[in-house]
């Protein structure tokens, strides 16, 4: 009896520690997110000095004003939307039919195709041969260089294939075939309407990936009017910062001017981070269920 | 007689005939499935196997006007040049140490966090904590780099303010080579630890509640139940993820490194993949950097196979 009481006491202590631990993890992630939002609408002086540490101080919307006035951000935004929509459409058109075919046990050659696809998970030609290929295909500096070389991901094909295999009853396919339904009709009229969860998951995974990618644009695009948002962000967030640090000898007035310029630059940075991340962050809580589902379907296989 | 003859030949013909006919029939019956798989097939053939064909320039002196096949062979010259270069050991060390550092910190944290989430009984708090810790996963690598640079900026970043408020001298995170790896690894943990819990939580949701009930009756404490029921449940998932991680030891998250790299921290931030990018696409030394990339891929593939083999010998969980 006594030991039983002792146990629960220990359990309570453990539970409290656990809550504290989770709360600290929550704070560590949450604080920078809130800080960014507050910093984007605070007077940059207070942000730089550390006086603004949680809630906005000296509210100003200058940062956002400058972001909205900046044409390269808008061009980038437009390009990103275009690349994301076209890219994700291609991703789905390649991934879903292939995954469905691979999920069919009566598909002769499925092991061959699966094996061929899986090899690419573990071995790749590397950066330069891929670049030369894209160049040879004449896709440099076009949208196609962004959307075609990343048309499918083997991981997502596996996840969708697992979904088709585990969630679509086999009897459905058999019944449809007895009725003389072709595979094409079966897929479009019966399988796809039943597969809305996986279509949503795939659209989200690919969509977020396309929205956030910068590297293929960096190596394949050289016309700044075609730059996606992430590449514009790179110029604002990363490159500018580095050039601002390498200052030479400067007198007091230029120092003051540079100082205020640096402050405005910092303000713009926070604003631009918010503007660029907003679409993803806003839709995310509503779609979290689907994202989580996607990861779980993937893990069933393992 | 006549009849039996036809029967014999008929049966003889039938055996291979039926298998063949069945195979072709099955193929013909599902011909549309080949159309379904065709886009993916050609995609991987061209964009994954195509570059593999291009790897041969690692053993050649690639001359753009002569093309891949027309360029002269040079054997292992590029590899030798790389292995004997003064930066070879630095690159290898940076790549390996960043990966292992990341593995040592980034691998256990999602597991611990998942175990902790699993013990939270308050539904609202659990959901809130999960939603918030998953969120950074969706932040792009460029924005992530921008955040790191802003937060760690000397005299203005909030992390610097916190360190100074605690009475310490804040290091120059962005330019000090000694801090690059820590900055890289910890920011990675911040971004992906929450998301990494999902796969473990999925495994934990499969634990038989009866096991816990029995353990409670036996007087097991919460901690003991985690130790002896929950953790063993996670071992298969952990093993698979560990193997996959080992297979990409030399494939560190190079997009982020490239963004955080600057001339001052180069001595600890230059890894094989960023070097390949620089020498290959910036300096256009196509053959040389293809050779380095190939070296990298081969080591990765070998590591994956070896680790998988070792794990298969010692436990039932392995990739194949």
Judge whether B184 lies within some domain.
yes
Closest Cα in chain B to A177: B29
Do residues B131 and B169 both lie within one domain? yes
| pLDDT at residue number A281 | 78
Q: For the CA atoms of A279, A282, A283, A287, what is the dihedral angle to 10 degrees?
A: 140
Alpha-carbon distance of B12 to B4, in angstroms, equals 12
DSSP state of A222: -
Judge whether A300 lies within some domain.
no
Q: Residue B19 — pLDDT band, cuts 50, 70, 90?
A: low
Do residues A22 and A133 both lie within one domain? no
- Structural domain count of chain A: 2
Q: What are phi and psi of B60, to 5 degrees?
A: -130, 170
Take residue B9 and report the two structure tokens written for it: 């030949």
The minimum CA-CA distance between B51 and chain A, rounded to whole Å, is 4
Judge whether B72 lies within some domain.
no
Query: Tens of pLDDT along B134-190?
Result: 999 989 999 999 999 999 988 788 999 999 989 898 899 999 999 999 999 999 999
High-pLDDT (> 90) share of chain A, %:
49
A151 touches chain B (CB under 8 A): yes
Contacts of A236 in chain B (CB under 8 A): 146
Angle between helical axes of A71-103 and A62-69 (0-180°, round to 10) = 80
Contact A14 B133 (CB under 8 A): no
The C-alpha angle with vertex B253 and arms to B80 and A299, in degrees rounded to 5, equals 120
CA distances from B176 to A10, A102, B144, B263 (A): 45, 50, 19, 10
Contact A241 B48 (CB under 8 A): no
Do residues A237 and A108 both lie within one domain? yes
Take residue B267 and report the two structure tokens written for it: 């001595």
Alpha-carbon distance of B278 to B274, in angstroms, equals 6
* End position of a domain, from candidates A9, A36, A60: A60
Do residues B82 and B39 both lie within one domain? no
Closest Cα in chain B to A12: B222
The minimum CA-CA distance between A70 and chain B, rounded to whole Å, is 18
High-pLDDT (> 90) share of chain B, %:
59
Place of tokens 């000095």: A49
Contacts of A299 in chain B (CB under 8 A): 199, 202-203, 237
Query: Tens of pLDDT along A166-215?
Result: 888 888 888 888 888 889 999 999 999 999 888 988 998 899 999 999 99
| pLDDT at residue number B12 | 44
CA distances from A125 to A232, B6, B46, B245, B301 (A): 29, 57, 11, 20, 12
Which of B176, B158, B154 shows the shortest CA–CA distance to B166? B158
How many A/B residue pairs have CB atoms within 8 Å? 284
The arithmetic mean of pLDDT across residues B120-134, rounded, is 91
Closest Cα in chain B to A16: B120
Is the separation of the CB atoms in B230 and A18 below 8 Å?
no
Do residues A170 and A263 both lie within one domain? yes
Do residues A157 and A226 both lie within one domain? yes
Q: Give residue B34's domain range.
A: 2-59
Alpha-carbon distance of A157 to A104, in angstroms, equals 14
Partner A, chain B 1-20, Cβ-Cβ below 8 Å? none
Judge whether A39 lies within some domain.
yes
| pLDDT at residue number A300 | 57
Please state, as a whole number, how many other Cβ atoms lie within 10 Å of the Cβ of residue A171.
8
**Which ipTM value was assigned to this complex?**
0.87
Is the separation of the CB atoms in B30 and B37 below 8 Å?
no
Do residues A106 and A166 both lie within one domain? yes
Alpha-carbon distance of A156 to A163, in angstroms, equals 11
Average of per-residue pLDDT values in chain B: 87
Exposure on the CB side of residue A58, measured as CA atoms within 13 A: 16
Do residues B99 and B172 both lie within one domain? yes
């Amino acid at each position: 009896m006594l030991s039983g009481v002792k146990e629960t006491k220990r359990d309570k202590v453990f539970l409290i520690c656990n809550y504290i631990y989770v709360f600290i993890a929550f704070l560590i992630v949450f604080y920078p997110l809130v800080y960014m939002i507050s910093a984007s609408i605070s007077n940059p002086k207070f942000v730089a000095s550390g006086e603004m540490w949680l809630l906005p101080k000296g509210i100003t919307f200058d940062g956002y004003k400058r972001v909205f006035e900046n044409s390269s951000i808008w061009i980038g935004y437009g390009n990103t939307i275009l690349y994301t929509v076209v890219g994700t459409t291609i991703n789905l058109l390649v991934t879903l039919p292939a995954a469905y075919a691979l999920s069919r046990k009566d598909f002769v050659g499925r092991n061959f195709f699966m094996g061929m696809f899986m090899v690419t998970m573990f071995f790749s030609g590397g950066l330069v041969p891929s670049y030369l290929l894209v160049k040879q295909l004449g896709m440099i500096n076009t949208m196609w260089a962004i959307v075609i070389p990343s048309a499918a991901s083997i991981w997502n094909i596996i996840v969708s294939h697992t979904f088709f295999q585990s969630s679509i009853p086999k009897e459905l396919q058999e019944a449809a075939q007895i009725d003389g339904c072709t595979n094409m009709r079966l897929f479009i009229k019966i399988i796809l309407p039943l597969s809305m969860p996986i279509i949503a998951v795939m659209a989200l995974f690919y969509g977020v990936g396309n929205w956030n990618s910068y590297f293929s644009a960096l190596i394949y695009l050289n016309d700044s009017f075609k730059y996606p948002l992430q590449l514009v962000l790179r110029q604002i967030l990363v490159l500018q910062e580095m050039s601002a640090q390498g200052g030479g000898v400067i007198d007091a007035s230029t120092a003051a001017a540079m100082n205020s310029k640096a402050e405005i630059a910092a303000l713009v940075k926070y604003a631009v981070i918010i503007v660029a991340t907003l679409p993803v962050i806003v839709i995310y809580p509503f779609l979290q269920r689907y994202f989580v589902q996607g990861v779980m379907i993937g893990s069933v296989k393992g | 007689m006549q009849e039996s003859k036809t029967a014999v030949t008929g049966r003889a013909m039938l055996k291979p005939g039926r298998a063949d006919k069945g195979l072709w029939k099955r193929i013909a019956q599902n011909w549309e499935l080949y159309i379904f798989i065709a886009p993916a097939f050609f995609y991987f053939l061209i964009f994954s196997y195509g570059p593999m064909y291009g790897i041969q320039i690692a053993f050649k002196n690639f001359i753009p006007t002569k093309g891949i096949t027309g360029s002269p062979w040079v054997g292992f010259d590029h590899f030798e040049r790389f292995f004997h270069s003064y930066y070879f050991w630095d690159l290898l060390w940076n790549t390996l140490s960043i990966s292992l550092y990341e593995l040592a910190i980034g691998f256990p944290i999602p597991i611990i966090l998942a175990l902790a989430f699993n013990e939270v009984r308050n539904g609202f708090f659990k959901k809130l904590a999960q939603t918030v810790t998953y969120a950074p996963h969706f932040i792009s690598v460029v924005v992530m780099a921008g955040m790191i640079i802003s937060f760690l900026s000397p005299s203005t970043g909030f992390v610097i303010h916190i360190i100074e408020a605690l009475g310490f001298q804040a290091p120059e995170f962005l330019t000090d080579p000694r801090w690059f790896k820590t900055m890289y690894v910890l920011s990675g943990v911040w971004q992906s630890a929450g998301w990494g819990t999902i796969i473990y939580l999925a495994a934990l949701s499969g634990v038989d509640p009866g096991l816990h009930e029995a353990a409670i009756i036996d007087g097991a404490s919460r901690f003991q139940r985690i130790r002896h029921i929950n953790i063993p449940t996670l071992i298969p998932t952990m093993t698979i993820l560990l193997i996959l991680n080992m297979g990409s030891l030399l494939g560190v998250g190079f997009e982020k490194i490239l963004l955080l790299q600057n001339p001052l921290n180069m001595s600890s931030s230059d890894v094989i993949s960023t070097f390949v990018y620089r020498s290959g696409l910036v300096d256009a030394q196509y053959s040389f950097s293809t050779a380095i990339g190939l070296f990298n891929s081969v080591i990765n593939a070998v590591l994956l196979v070896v680790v998988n083999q070792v794990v298969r010998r010692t436990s039932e969980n392995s990739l194949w």
